[in-house]
């Protein structure tokens, strides 16, 4: 009885191919899972964040925060806010109006995803204000 070396080489080669195929198949499945999981909702949230940031930039460029007047800020916010988006803007600082806090915009919803945006602005009389905007789809 002799030992057949061909069968042992064939067995090792078959095992090597099966192991390699299994690893590649596992990597493909994992990649598809992570790609599908990563794309759910993140693009919409990123877009809302960018829109909210742009709105704060426009309001700051139009010097909307210089007067710290609740009615004027709300009017300017309504002018630049797109129809499909709502926002609550909280302005905090060391000023007398509202004990240092002014809130303008819509009421925070309980059933929708909120995107917070935070910024700092400087008014014309060199008062720093902290801006926190919560953005959501209507």
Q: What pLDDT score was predicted for residue 41?
A: 60
Is pLDDT above 60 for 39?
A: no
- How far apart CA 99 and CA 105 sit, in angstroms, is 18
* Domain residue limits, the chain: 42-137
Q: What pLDDT score was predicted for residue 59?
A: 92
Domain 42-137 annotated CATH 3.30.1140: yes
Within 8 A by CB and 6+ apart from 56, the residues are 89, 117, 119, 121, 131, 133
pLDDT per position as a tens digit, 69-124: 889 999 999 999 999 999 999 999 887 776 788 999 988 998 888 889 999 988 88
The DSSP output letter for 128 is E
Quick one: pLDDT band at residue 8, thresholds 50, 70, 90?
low
Planar angle of CA 131, 56, 138, nearest 5 degrees: 100
More confident residue, 67 or 8: 67
Q: What percent of the chain lies above the pLDDT cut of 90?
A: 46
Q: What pLDDT score was predicted for residue 36?
A: 75
- What mean pLDDT, rounded, does the chain reach? 86
């Amino acid at each position: 009885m002799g030992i057949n070396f061909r069968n042992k080489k064939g067995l090792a080669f078959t095992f090597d191919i099966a192991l390699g195929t299994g690893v590649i198949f596992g990597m493909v499945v994992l990649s598809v899972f992570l790609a599908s999981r990563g794309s759910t909702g993140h693009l919409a949230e990123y877009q809302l964040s960018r829109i909210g940031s742009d709105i704060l930039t426009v309001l700051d460029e139009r010097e909307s925060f210089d007067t710290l007047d609740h009615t004027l800020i709300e009017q300017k916010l309504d002018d630049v806010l797109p129809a499909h988006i709502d926002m609550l803007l909280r302005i905090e600082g060391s000023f007398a109006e509202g004990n240092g806090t002014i809130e303008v915009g819509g009421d925070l919803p309980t059933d929708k995803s909120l995107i917070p945006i935070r910024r700092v602005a400087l008014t014309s009389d060199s008062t720093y204000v902290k801006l926190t905007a919560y953005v959501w789809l209507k």
